[in-house]
Structure 1
Amino acid sequence: MSGSTDQTDPTNPTNRQLGERYTHSLMNTFGPPKLALVRGEGAHVWDADGKEYVDLLGGIAVNTLGHAHPALVAAVTEQMSTLGHISNFFTSGPQVELAETLLRLVGAGPGKVFLANSGTEANEAAFKLTRRTGRTQVVVAEGGFHGRTMGALALTSKAAYREPFEPLPGHVTFVPYGDADALREAVSDQTAAILLEPIQGEAGVVPAPDGYLHAARALADESGALLWLDEVQTGMGRTGEWFAHAGQVVPDVLTLAKGLGGGYPIGAVIGLGRAADLLEPGNHGTTFGGSPVACAAALAVIRTVESEGLLEHARAAGERLREGLGADPRVTEVRGRGLLIGLDLVSETAAAVVDAAQEAGWIVNMPTPDRIRLAPPLVLTDADVEAFLQAWPAILDKAGT
């Protein structure tokens, strides 16, 4: 049969075989894998058994250009064949050009960039940067997620993540997300930074209420604190704009990763104004951060988003998805912007919805028992959008929602 895999061929292991080998060879930090994926093209992927899926998760908001995009493949291949790794004793054209490009996209005046390898590393660096103010307190919203390293974890409120590793670095104060009064009560002249996500992704795509970021900006100005926005998940076109905070406020510190490299690991800290010069030689570093290959990948992503009109496409495709998904009465709320979408179900059947969707050839995510998250590649086609909307009622039926 076309697309089938020889079940006994050791050179073509099945989903089951790779899953068993995974169990015996990799640490159990993620639980058993749902699938073994072997290739992708655009927003589509194929598993080891030959089954095709539409990837509506995009590596958790990472695969901006989908899978195997020619521009990204060419950029990484050309750069690796020219100059791969050089350490940060030296610089390269792609490194400088990427920093200049990010500052252009932010469009908020003078600033400087530190390049890392991931979101948690970007937030770790930014956390250290805040200590250079001479203050120690960071005020953070509950429900946020900022990473798994010890410093970034200290900024993440979820008890299940934190408690096995306490004591964590302090001095961190958590306040309810979206509550400007609670924020005001927590911020003082000892506050180094206010850390917020414009849209909380891991909580199930929860946007900041109107005026909340403005209130945070005003509090930071009044107290002398930095306003630090974590756009690791929301940045680089995910919301139909380069950054989710665009048109609302100007942060002092901005952290990015995920979609920046389109699948190639890279993260960034952007310091604006006085925050640009807080880190000095010897304060921080990274072996791999800002490598020519990672920077070439990020530049290819940015150029392709611009040349293919993917910001506009993300806005239009996201609007169609939100409208169509919310039309089913078993969906009580749909949130998000662009192609970062969260929805609430009438019952705690999100796990069953994920399974039913996968069985039907769609990859979606469950951030909470009653919530579904979508973060597909920005190259998701209109045909895939319509096909998913047609499949959605049957998926909910199968899940018993």
Structure 2
Amino acid sequence: MVNKVLSAATETEQLFLRFLVGKSKVYKEEDYNDGLNEQDSDANQQNGWHQRTLLSVEKERRMRVLEEKKLQQRREAVFVRDFQQLLLTTINEKLENTQCVLCDHLQMHQQCVDLLTALIAKETRYSVLAELLDRNPYVRNHVIGLVSSQNFMALLGRQKRIVHDTQTAVGMIGTNGLRYLIPALMFKHCINIYNHHNPLFTKKLWRYQLTLGQACTSLMLEAGYRHPYEGQMLSAMLNFAYTASFHQYLTSFEHVRSRLILEAREQDESMRHGFFHDLKSDLASLQALLITKSDLMMSVTLATPVFSKDFPHLITALTEEVENIDFDSRSVLGQILFKAVYFAKYEQLRAARLFKDEWLASYFKSAHIDKTTFKLLSEQALFRFKPDW
């Protein structure tokens, strides 16, 4: 029975990675709404009666064209193999520079860390929060925009209002609401779901991260944890590896492609030059990259220097998850994160209609989630932001 449980969990984990990078969409387009948003079948076919007999010379020509096509495909397969090897090597070298990754790809500048620390770890006055928000223009502008949203403010039981200064917006939402909102906005910006290269991947990653963070919050509340608003931070920290890898992938892809185009031009290899000139970012190389990072050790490496001082308990829970510590040996937060990860992955696959019903019993037995908790998590639509915990 244990082997069956492990098999189901492993199969689901592999399916989740393929879904994340693949072309499968979440079933309903509405399922991407996070609540924070201010082959032709008629080809002509011939039967044997109408087919004319090919002349021998035409047969030879077709065979020649076919052989040339196969040769071209073999050449291109070599180009792709060499490109992917160089791309992955380049990405891994760049990702070793932790400080650059934190600043360039995760946007964890000091002003961002200061805002999170003041908001989550301390009791801070509205005026100080407003000042810190002004140093983070993207988050500030989004907060002000949400204050004028009837739907968002209704969730807080308040009327919308058109405001222009940060402190008024802070006062209208309140510290507790901002503790849930600002980390979500900050990490959504970090993922950059509006990129032009692979928006489907980033939308799915954000939907997973928001679901994971709010599953953590729900489980924290159930356990009586004092700071349930830390859920979204914990979720983002776990996904640092995927987020940073994706952004480095985009940067390195263009760098390596340009390098190989230049080399082909210098060596007067027109076929090679044309191939790399037309090459577009592909899912196979991105999936290969994410598989190499799926142990998420890089998440611990990136989160530790930023959050270990003010949020050591989050680093502990993150480390327990990444190192796959036995469930019963984990801290309270470590157990919460364990359950939330299982649920969030299930929820993405369920929404995409990829999760088989027969997996449910064995999968959730390994997830340590009882039926009552599972029902509670399922009913809350955790892929959509909740400011009213």
The normalised TM-score by structure 1 is 0.26
Larger radius of gyration: 2
User: Which has the larger strand fraction?
Assistant: 1
The normalised TM-score by structure 2 is 0.27
RCO (CA 8 Å, sep 6+): is it higher in 1 or 2?
2
